[in-house]
């Protein structure tokens, strides 16, 4: 048992010490041991549509410029001037080949070269012109761009491990390639960043915390079939990543109903996917999934839309959250309308669900002021079950075991559960994809 995690397999019981959510020293260790040695999500390739597009963003506590150079290649630069440190690119986004520092006017190209210095002659003949600094690794998987500040990290696909299959289930939802819509939701929560990670694949809280949303859906649909949730399964994907996946019967549970014509359009899209990928894969695609890629990327696909959520710790009791919508560019106006409606009504910071989560998390954090008197949070749900469901807490234990191993060196064995079966193992028919291409 470590200072932070009590993983008792006999009872069984799993507890996390609330010190992990409040202590500045834990926060500093997370920055040093986790964020400096993981692959961290930066953005999606489709956010940079044209050559010379750029976006400034924070990743792992560093300011970076995420850009596409004139030749179309993705580049990531540390957003600090090599001269004396000023922020180089001060705009949130735009299009431009050069960045000029506001402090003394040094200019850099988006390929990282220093191209001009005011009063150049005051530097000696042998002066070495510094280029921009870059993270040691930048790579992408199916359009999702990640960076790592660890020069010795494993390659991205190895790091993502079993999570690649679930990214595929999302990325395959358009034969034209999925894209991120311009614009994002940006909000902050006065709570430890790990609480939102837990919340992002916690199906247990849905009926109690999100009654307002469910009441709205009930009113719009006339009925809510309790069986519509179907079979769900929490899956350990390796390296701290986990997913809660729902079988295809989850289709249509959430959101306002489509018209008959909208349903027909949806069926038509699914038929084209069946032809391309085969039934087994499309049955899975139709289901729901809440995926957490360690440490701080969330991808949620709950039929009503796909969101990408990046969670940035700022201090032990404060986080910043960015979320984007990943959409098929080739869907009909009605399907797009439903998707946008769902994005706002459920996921939006002013929607019918996110404020509930924010309040729940902030109330936990406020109560952690009593973490000496009440030190442990319980995350044991479903630990004894052969098959853990989305409403259990296996997915969170998976994340915490990885966190605990990185912070304390204590290696906890994986939790034994029955192998995956049924709708959770269908594969993509790649032959069909190749013959189409």
Q: Which conformational region is residue 137 in: left (phi greater than 0), alpha (psi within -120 to 50 degrees), or beta?
A: beta
CB of 131 to ligand FES, least distance (A): 13
Q: If binding is defined by CB under 6 A, does position 245 make contact with ligand FES? A: no
CA 418 from centroid of its chain's CA atoms: 27
Contact 329, 176 (CB under 8 A): yes
Nearer to ligand FES, 117 or 280 (CB): 117
Of residues 103 through 122, those in contact with ligand FES by CB under 6 A are 103-106
CB of 185 to Fe ion, least distance (A): 14
90 binds, among Fe ion, ligand FES, none (CB under 5 to 8 A by kind): none
CB of 4 to Fe ion, least distance (A): 25
357 binds, among ligand FES, Fe ion, none (CB under 5 to 8 A by kind): Fe ion
3-state secondary structure of 12: coil
CB of 200 to Fe ion, least distance (A): 8
DSSP code of residue 420? P
**Tokens (6 digits) for 121:** 């002659």
CB of 82 to ligand FES, least distance (A): 8
Binding mask 371-410 for ligand FES (x = CB under 6 A): ----------------------------------------
CB of 78 to ligand FES, least distance (A): 13
97 binds, among ligand FES, Fe ion, none (CB under 5 to 8 A by kind): none
146: buried, middle or exposed (CB in 10 Å: 19+, 13-18, 0-12)?
buried
Nearer to Fe ion, 63 or 351 (CB): 351
HSE-up (13 A, CA, CB side) for residue 72: 2
Please provide residue 121's backbone torsions phi and psi, each rounded to the nearest 5 degrees. Answer: -65, -20
Contact 290, 201 (CB under 8 A): yes
How do 241-246 and 232-238 pair as beta strands?
antiparallel
The binding site for Fe ion (CB under 5 A) comprises 357
Listed in sequence order, the residues at least 6 apart from 212 whose beta carbon sits closer than 8 Å to its beta carbon are: 352, 353, 356
340 binds, among ligand FES, Fe ion, none (CB under 5 to 8 A by kind): none
71: buried, middle or exposed (CB in 10 Å: 19+, 13-18, 0-12)?
exposed
Nearer to ligand FES, 101 or 197 (CB): 101
Nearer to ligand FES, 31 or 84 (CB): 84
CB of 359 to Fe ion, least distance (A): 10
DSSP lists the bridge partners of residue 5 as: 16
DSSP code of residue 176? T
Total binding residues toward ligand FES, as defined by CB under 6 A: 10
Nearer to ligand FES, 66 or 106 (CB): 106
**Tokens (6 digits) for 277:** 């990928």
Choose which of 74, 78, 86, 114 interacts with ligand FES (CB under 6 A): 86
427 binds, among ligand FES, Fe ion, none (CB under 5 to 8 A by kind): none
Distance separating alpha carbons of residues 192 and 179, to the nearest angstrom: 30
CB of 50 to Fe ion, least distance (A): 36
104 binds, among Fe ion, ligand FES, none (CB under 5 to 8 A by kind): ligand FES
CB of 134 to ligand FES, least distance (A): 17
Nearer to Fe ion, 7 or 357 (CB): 357
Cα 53-163-281 angle, rounded to 5 deg: 100
Of residues 25 through 84, those in contact with ligand FES by CB under 6 A are 81, 83-84
Rounded to whole angstroms, what are the CA distances from 88 to 81, 83, 85, 145, 180?
5, 10, 8, 22, 26
Cα 88-89-91 angle, rounded to 5 deg: 150
Nearer to ligand FES, 19 or 83 (CB): 83
Nearer to ligand FES, 2 or 87 (CB): 87
Cα 168-30-6 angle, rounded to 5 deg: 90
- Which residue, chain included where needed, has tokens 């109903």? 257
* Residues near ligand FES (CB under 6 A): 81, 83-86, 101, 103-106
């Amino acid at each position: 048992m470590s200072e932070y995690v009590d993983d008792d397999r006999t009872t069984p019981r799993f507890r996390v010490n609330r010190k992990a959510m409040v202590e500045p020293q834990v926060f500093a260790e997370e920055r040093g041991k986790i964020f400096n040695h993981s692959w961290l999500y930066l953005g999606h390739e489709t956010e940079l549509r044209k050559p010379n597009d750029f976006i400034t963003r924070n990743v792992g506590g560093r300011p970076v410029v995420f850009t596409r150079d004139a030749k179309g290649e993705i580049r990531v630069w540390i957003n600090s001037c090599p001269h004396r440190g000023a922020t180089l690119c001060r705009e949130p986004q735009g299009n431009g080949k050069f960045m000029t520092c506001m402090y003394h006017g040094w200019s850099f190209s988006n390929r990282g070269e220093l191209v001009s210095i005011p009063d150049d002659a005051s530097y000696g003949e042998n002066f070495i012109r510094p280029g921009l600094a870059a993270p040691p690794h930048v790579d992408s998987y199916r359009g999702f761009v990640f960076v790592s500040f660890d020069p010795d990290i494993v390659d991205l696909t190895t790091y993502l491990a079993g999570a690649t299959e679930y990214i595929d289930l999302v990325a395959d939802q358009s034969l034209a390639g999925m894209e991120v819509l311009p614009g994002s939701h940006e909000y902050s929560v006065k709570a430890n960043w790990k609480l939102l990670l837990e919340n992002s694949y916690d199906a247990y809280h849905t009926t109690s915390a999100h009654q307002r949303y469910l009441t709205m859906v009930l009113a719009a649909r006339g009925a809510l079939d309790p069986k519509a949730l179907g079979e769900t399964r929490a899956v350990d994907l390796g390296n701290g990543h986990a997913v809660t996946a729902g079988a295809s019967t989850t289709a249509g549970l959430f959101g306002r109903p489509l018209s008959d014509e909208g349903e027909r359009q949806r069926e038509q899209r699914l038929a084209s996917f069946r032809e391309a990928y085969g039934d087994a894969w499309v049955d899975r695609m139709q289901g729901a999934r809440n995926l957490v890629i360690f440490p701080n990327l969330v991808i949620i696909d709950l039929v009503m839309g796909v969101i990408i959520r990046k969670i940035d710790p700022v201090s032990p009791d404060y986080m910043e959250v960015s979320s984007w919508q990943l959409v098929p560019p080739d869907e009909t106006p009605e399907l797009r309308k439903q998707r946008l409606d769902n994005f706002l009504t459920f996921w939006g910071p002013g929607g019918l669900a996110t404020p509930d989560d924010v309040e729940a998390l902030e109330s936990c954090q406020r109560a952690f002021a009593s973490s000496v008197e009440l030190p442990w949070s319980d995350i044991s749900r479903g630990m004894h079950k052969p098959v853990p469901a989305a409403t259990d807490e296996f997915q969170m234990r998976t994340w915490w075991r990885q966190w605990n191993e990185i912070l304390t060196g204590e290696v906890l064995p994986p939790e034994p559960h029955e192998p995956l079966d049924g709708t959770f193992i269908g594969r993509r028919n790649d032959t069909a994809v190749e013959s189409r291409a």
